[in-house]
Amino acid sequence: MSHPTIPISDAESRVMDVLWQQAPLTSEQIVAAVQSNSDWHEKTVRTLLNRLLGKSAVEATRDGRRYLYRPLLTRAQWQSQESHSLLDRVFGGRVAPLLAHFSQHEKLSAKDVAELRKLLDAIERKER
Q: What is the pLDDT of residues 1-32, one digit of tens each?
A: 455 789 999 999 999 999 999 999 999 999 99
Q: What is the pLDDT of residues 86-113, one digit of tens each?
A: 888 888 988 888 888 888 888 888 898 8
DSSP for the chain, written as a single string: ---------HHHHHHHHHHHHS-SB-HHHHHHHHHTTS---HHHHHHHHHHHHHTTSEEEEEETTEEEEEESS-HHHHHHHHHHHHHHHHHTT-HHHHHHHHHHHS---HHHHHHHHHHHHHHHHHH-
* Per-residue confidence (pLDDT) for residue 85, from 0 to 100: 87
Q: In the CATH hierarchy, which fold is given to the domain comprising 75-127?
A: Penicillinase repressor fold (1.10.4040)
Q: What is the pLDDT of residues 40-77, one digit of tens each?
A: 999 999 999 999 999 999 999 999 999 999 999 999 99
User: What's this model's pTM, rounded to 2 decimal places?
Assistant: 0.79
The class (CATH top level) of 10-71 is: mainly alpha
**What are the domain boundaries of the chain?**
10-71, 75-127
